[in-house]
Structure 1
Amino acid sequence: MIAAKGLQLRQQRSMLHLQPLTDLKAVRGTEMATGPTMTAQEFEALRPRLGRLALDTIEIARAVLVDGMKTTEAANRHGMTRQRVHGIVQRFRAAAQEVPTGWRRVEVWLPPELAQQVEAMADEARAAHAGTGQSDP
C-alpha cells in the first residue's frame, strides 16, 4: 500500500514537470526576462563589488545578463539547476542595485575600536546616499 502511494506521488510530480513553460508563466503571473539586461561595461563594473567568484559563475551571469541567454539554457550548458543559475544572476543584480557606482569594497583587519569607527562611517555614508534619493544602475 505504501509503495503504491509512493508510486502515485512520483507520477503526479513527473506530470507537473511536463507542463508547458507558457502555462507556468500564466500560473506565476510573471514574464521571464528575455534579452540582455545590462551592457558588457556595466557587467564588468560589478565584478569588483562581488569579491572572488569562480569563472563558471562569471560566465553564467554574463551569458544571462549580457548575452540574453535564458536561465534554463545556461543551466543545461553548465550542468546545474535553473534555480542555481537564477541565484547567481540575482546576486549580480543585487550588486548592481545595492552598491552606488564608484564605491569600493575595502577589507582590512583592525582593532575593535577602529573597526567600530569604520563601520559607523560606512553606515553614515549609506544613509547619506539613501537620503539623496539617487538610484544607481
Structure 2
Amino acid sequence: MPPTAVREVEEKRLVDALHLVYPETRRARVVAARHEWRADCPLFTVGGYRDRPTVRTPDPALVVAGDLVRTDLPVALMQRAATSGFLAANALLEPWGVRNETLWTVPGGGRSAPLRALARRFGTR
C-alpha cells in the first residue's frame, strides 16, 4: 500500500471485494479479524514486476533463480525461489535433452469461461 493509504478504507475495500467474489459471505458474522500491515517485502516495489530478471538470460549457460526472479507462475517469495530454481535447472538441462522437472500449478485462466467473463466485466482480474 502507498504510505498515504488509510487503513480503515483499505480494509473495508478488501472486505467489499471478498463479498463481490463470494456473495454468500455478506451474511457471515466476523468472529475475528487480523490485518497485517508490514513493510517486510521492500525488494518488490509496486509496478516493479517487469524490471525483475527472468530465469533465462542472453547467455544460455547462465540462468538466474531466487525470490527476485520473474516467473509466469503465480508464486511468491520462497515459492518463487524454489520454482525459479526448477525452471533454471530445466533450462540448463534442455540442451542435453534431459527430461525436465514438470512444475504443477493452478490454471492461469480461471476455472470456467463464465467466471472469466464475469471477472472481465466487473474488473476483478
* Both proteins in one fold, TM over 0.5: no
Query: Which one has the largest radius of gyration?
Result: 1
TM-score, normalised via structure 2 length:
0.23
Q: Higher relative CO (CA 8 A, sep ≥ 6), structure 1 or 2?
A: 1
- Higher relative helix content: 1
